[in-house]
Amino acid sequence: MPRTHGYRRGTRYMFSRPFRKHGVEHLCTYLKTYKVGDIVDVKANGAFHKGMPHKFYHGKTGRIYNVTKRAVGVIVNKPIRNQILPKRINIRIEHIKHSRCQEDFLKRVKENEKKKQLAKETGKKVPLKRQPVGPRSAHFVRLRGKEPELVEPIPYEFVA
């Protein structure tokens, strides 16, 4: 077959519904609240053709800049040649979900605020930066009566 150039070409698996996930969309999809400034993941739902983003934006993360009754406007960065352009796309809410990319960061910020408050009360200085995991401490390996086994490579034998 000749090369296709359609709008949805190459999306056979991208826009297909997962196994046992066909049918009516759950109400929780429509009951989620999206606000301007929220970070969302674009994940196109193949069951809904209205308001579906182009295949390029599938799997991308962006920030909401506009909210309407059934859709949201999302700013997504798109690399074009040697520059990154912020593209504004309008997507229905069936095709987006809240991003979890900042969960660890926000959790760490809350923990650091508690540490700062505790340090202020006690008058001690507390390091707030993340520290890399150091080397393990020295320890003895107990053999419990077993002999240590020598591990070495098997010599190569040429079989004619």
Give first-to-last CA distance, the chain, whole Å. 48
**Tokens coding 90:** 């309008």
Is residue 95 within 8 A of residue 66, CB to CB? The reply is: no
pLDDT at position 1: 65
Residue 100: how many other CB atoms lie within 10 Å: 9
**Alpha helix locations (H) across the chain?**
28-31, 103-122
Q: Which residues pair with 87 in a beta bridge?
A: 76
> Do 108 and 117 contact (CB within 8 A), yes or no?
no
Report pLDDT for 3: 86
CB atoms within 10 A of CB 99: 15
In angstroms, rounded to a whole number, what is the distance separating the alpha carbons of residues 43 and 21?
Answer: 15
pLDDT tens-digit profile, the chain (160 residues)? 688 999 999 999 999 999 999 999 999 999 999 999 999 999 999 999 999 999 999 999 999 999 999 999 999 999 999 999 999 999 999 999 999 999 999 999 999 999 999 999 999 999 999 999 999 999 998 999 999 999 999 999 998 7
pLDDT for res 159: 86
**How far is it, in rounded angstroms, from Cα 124 to Cα 120?**
7
**Cα 100 to Cα 146: distance, rounded to the nearest angstrom:** 49
Separation between Cα atoms, residue 118 and residue 41, nearest integer Å: 36
Helix/strand/coil for 97 = strand
In this structure, the strands spanning 61-67 and 39-42 are antiparallel
Query: Has this prediction a pTM greater than 0.85?
Result: no
User: 37-64: b or e for each residue (b if 16 or more CB lie within 10 Å)?
Assistant: ebebbbbbbbeeeebbbeeebbebebbb
